[in-house]
Structure formats: C-alpha cells, structure tokens
Structure 1
Amino acid sequence: MSQAKVPAWVNLALIPFLNILLAFVVSGLVILAIGEDPIEAASFLIYGAFGYNEGIAYTLYYATNLIFTGLAVSVAFKGGLFNIGGEGQAYIGGLGVGLVCLSLDHTMPLYIIAPLAILGAAAFGAAWAYVPAYLQARRGSHIVITTIMFNFIASSLMVYLIVNWLKEEGRMAANSRTFEESAWLPHLSDILAPLGIDIGYAPLNLAFVLALVCCVLVWALLWHTRWGYQLRTLGTNPTAAKYAGIDTAKVTIWAMLISGGLAGFVGVNEIMGANHSLLLNFTAGYGFAGIAVSLMGRNHPIGIIMAAILFGALYQGGSELAFEIPTITPEIVIVIQGLVILFSGALEHMFKDRIEGFFIRRAVA
C-alpha cells in the first residue's frame, strides 16, 4: 500500500498508541479473570509510576537503562543488524566501570574518575561487540547467533572474575568492595533538593542526563552525518550500498562498536550510580527489554525515550501494584509487560493496513 499520502504521525504515533492501548485492554481482561478490578489496578500502577516524586524518579531510573539499550539496538538495526547481545555488552561495560572505580577511587576525584569510567564502559561494551561484528562482516556468521552466544560467555566470565578475583575478602556475597564516595555518581536528589524537589531515596543519578545526551548524539550521527547516511543505506538495501561504493564490512563493524558502547553505559547507571560496587546480574534483563523499547520507539531517539519511560513506568508501577494488591503477583506484571511487547512488536501491523487505507481514501476524497 502506498505510503505517499499517509501522514508521518500515523505510523510514528497513532498506530503505536493503538497497539499499546490494545495491550492494556487485554491486560485488563487478565486482571479481571483473576478476580480483581482492572480500573483499580490501573490506578495503582499509574500512581506508583507517576503519582509522587519518588515514584517518578524510580521510573526515570529504570528508563535510563532502557534508553541506553534501546539506542544500542536502534543503531545496529539501522544498518540491518539485529543486535541481541545488549545484555552481555552491558554486563562487560559494567566491568569496565568497576575496574576504573576500584583502581582510582582512593587516589582520584570524581571529575577524573567519572569521564574515565564512562570511557571504560563504552570501550569494554564496544570490545565485546567487536568479535560478533567481525564475524558478521568478514566471515558471514549471523549476528543474531553470535551475539546471543556472547551473552552467555559474558555471564560466565563475570562470575569467574568476581568470584575469583574481584570479590571482597571475608564477604560471602559475590560483590566487590564498596567504592569510595569519590567514585559515586551524584544522585539527582542532591541536585534537586536545593530547588525544593524531594525525590526521596530513588537512585536516579546523572546517568539519566548522559542517556539524554546520547539520544541527541545518536540522532545527529544517524541523520546528519555522511556515515549515518551510509549506515541507513546499508540497512535499507545492502546491494545498493555496495554498488554506491560503501565499505559495508567497515560500516557493519563500526555500527556494532557504537551499539556495544551504548549498551555498556548501563554499567555507569547501575555500578557507579546506584550500587557503588561491582556485582553479579546487575543488568536484570535490560539488554533484552531494550529490543522492545527500540521497536516500539520506531528506532528513533525520541520514540525510544517515550518507550523507555513507558517500560520504566511498568517496572515501578508494577511493583506498587503488586504491593497494594497481593493477588496480582510480580508474574502478572511480567505478563502485562509481555503483552505490551507482543502488541507493539509481533502484532504491530494489526491495524496498519486499515488505518493507512482510511487516511489514503480520505486524502483522495
């Protein structure tokens, strides 16, 4: 069906909104089936995510990680690459952050440690993405298979390193020692308090600002640089890209390096901003959730921010919902998240033809 007469906002806003709305309608039926009131449940979920300052801060804290991983998926996807390895790249990026903090927190101030930790996150995440990128570009191995395998390798490597080398002596938990305060990323609660804004004990920190900066940089890179044009050409038509003289292997490798570096920034938020120590499983599935965030956000930074806030609201509001209504367990909240992913991803074209047909007929008339 021709797209020429379909307004851009239909595909960018209206269709995603209808998909999300349908997901919540089906979620309401699930809650109704277990004997609870969907309206009451929705009110608790919305209040928990947006009803008070601390809840909003937690929503944005969760959204920060999802912005990083959503951007990582988006950059790769623009080049026709489906990066499933955001989880592993985020994990190894956190290792880079942890090593910088553990090495320098006794001797260096924050204004030196923070830039080095950010560079460490990007470098380690990019390095972990390089091998799958090289295998795809030079050896023809499928990027989906290799990035999935590297997730498991990253998990095993982190267990080995933390348990055998980085765990604090005399401690049962598989954590490193707590960083000195010179390696703690400032919380926004300290910055907002003088303005009279109290966000309680939410771990929202300056990594949220870093995420917004990354959105601007990715937007500029993809749509306002020659390299971004080459990447989008490769993703749209690889044959045409080769015919135009684009070094597709080089573009593929650089796209994955940038994607891995963006995923690695999850470590800045979690290791340096929230936990202040290197620990196991801090990624908590953000790498996989970033795939849904990117798809829902139409692989555009603005859409990714909105989708990340939606998923952050489901994380935070879902916790509030499970607390207020014990019969709605965390597993039910996961079902709601899954339905949003299902209708925004696998079933995103359910209404597409009908809605586009309506606007085309309207334009013709």
Structure 2
Amino acid sequence: MRQLIKTGAEGNRDAFLQATEAVIRDERSKNHHLLANDLERILYSRAEIQGAPPIFADRLPKDKERGLPLLQIRESARLLDDVVLSDENRSLVDELLTEHHRSELLRSHGLYPADRLLFCGPPGCGKTMTAEIVASELSLPLAIVRIDSVMSSYLGETAANLRQVFDFITAYPLVVLFDEFDALAKERSDASEHGELKRVVNAFLQMLDGYCGKSLLIAATNHERILDTAIWRRFDEVLVFDPPNQEQLKRLLSIKLRGVRRQFEADDGDIIGLFKGMSHADVERVLRRAVKDMVLTGVEFLTRRNVEAAVRREDARRARMKRG
C-alpha cells in the first residue's frame, strides 16, 4: 500500500500499475474476488480512457457523405450527487450501478446487468447529465452518437452509418448515448413519413436486437409519444424525467448554492417558489446569472434581489422562445 501511494504521488504510471496489480493479486489470494474484480475494472477501464483519445481519433467511424465523425467521445467527471433525481429514478440508477459493479456475480448465475435504458422527459430535466454520471460511476468513456452526422440525405446511408456505430460500440466498452433518439425511432405507421425513415427504424431495431457488446446503451428523447411502439420492449428499464417538484427544487438549490455566501436559506419557501415550473437546466441557468450579478456588483452575499432579477430574465427568455 505504501508503494502504491508513493508511485501514484510521483506520477510513475508503470510503477503505479505494478503496485496496483500486486494489491489485486493479494486481494484475490484472500478470496476477495468481488473486490479484486472491481479494482481490475477501475484500473483497466481508466487505463483505456487515458489512452483512448489517440486510439479513438484513428478509429472513430465517419459519415461517408461528409467525413464527419459519427460519435463524440467524452470522459465524464460527474458524480451521482450532482443531479437531483426522483426517488424512483435514483433507485433505478443505484440498482443499475450495482448490477454493473457486480456483473461477475450475476454472470456466475447466468444473469446479466441491464444494458439498454430509455430516458424520457422534457428538455433540461437531467437526462444527459444522468448518462454522464452513469459513465463516470462505471469508469467508462461516454460516447454520444451524433444524430446530425448519422442522418444522411443519401438512400441507405443512414442505416450504413448506424451499422458503423454499432460495430464500434461493440468493439469497445462504453456508455453510449443516443440523444434525440426519436429521430431514429419514429413511429413507422405515421403516414406523413417517407419510406426511408421507416427503413431506418427497421434497421435500428434489427441492430438493437442483434447487439451483444459490452457497452451500456442509453437512448434519450424529449418526444416519447412519437416513438415506434416496437421500441419500448427493446429496453431493460425506462426512466421518466419530470421537472423538479418542491422537494427536489430544495435539494437542487442546496447543491447549486453550495459554497455561495447568501442572505437566505436554500429551503426558504419564498425562494423555492420563484422556480416553480422550471426544469433543472432552467434553475441552474438562473442561479448562475444571480451569482454573476452578485460578483459583478461587488456585493458580499447573494440576495433575493439577485435571484429575482435572474428569474425575470429567464421568464423573458422563455417568453421569446414560445413566440419563436
């Protein structure tokens, strides 16, 4: 343990790997197999992440029409406490993480961790952030499928791009986010849609059915009502993200105002009432503006006046968006 800390502090990567592997061997010799497996997963997945950019830069699939990469690779440092979830969603995420951290135990009984999730709900309610947190908690890179690159104007190219994506995510362990998922999985019975989109949905369903890689797939949509009915049963779990209720707003304010000197409490009912009907992203944007106002005006404490001014700006912004 002394050697492990010493090599880590010195930044000696090779010696650090050797010391860590020695700790893992020691734990395994004590029959602490679950701990040894978890340590191996953390060690080697982190090693893959650190060496990932040059490897992924050369191997990222690209759209033949424009040469654009079909995925964006990102390493997330988000923590589970960075997001405020409903009790049901928090329980589902905790269960998912436990399944993946103890996947060897499940596999020893012929079982497998859930690897296909569908996130539904309005914009700004934590879908993308939760995907980032899952990736961070599992020590895996986050791969965001670029829908703008995948969708092609050429006949058959969208399905070909999807095949490239699935081949790539089968080759590497990742958390894969299909954002704006409804663009790929819209209801096929919609008479207004052309035949090519229906072929894309068929192709996606076939690829999803045939997928057997080690990546965890997350599809996120703001428009779940237009998803094809055949999509739903392809996912192990469905998480519905709603705007925060009063209790969640209280927790959200507490998190976002942590370390900010202020003249009010985060659980002040009058302050919480100012954010009624806002999404998580709206709340964060308002608080960021309020803190900027505090800093730029040179005051020492965040006040209700700062928050109210930021809320008015947000209300005006939302009004413009509705008119647009």
Query: What TM-score results when the alignment is normalised by the length of structure 1?
Result: 0.19
Structure with the larger RCO, 1 or 2 (CA within 8 Å, 6+ apart): 1
Higher helix share: 1
Higher strand share: 2
Query: What TM-score results when the alignment is normalised by the length of structure 2?
Result: 0.21
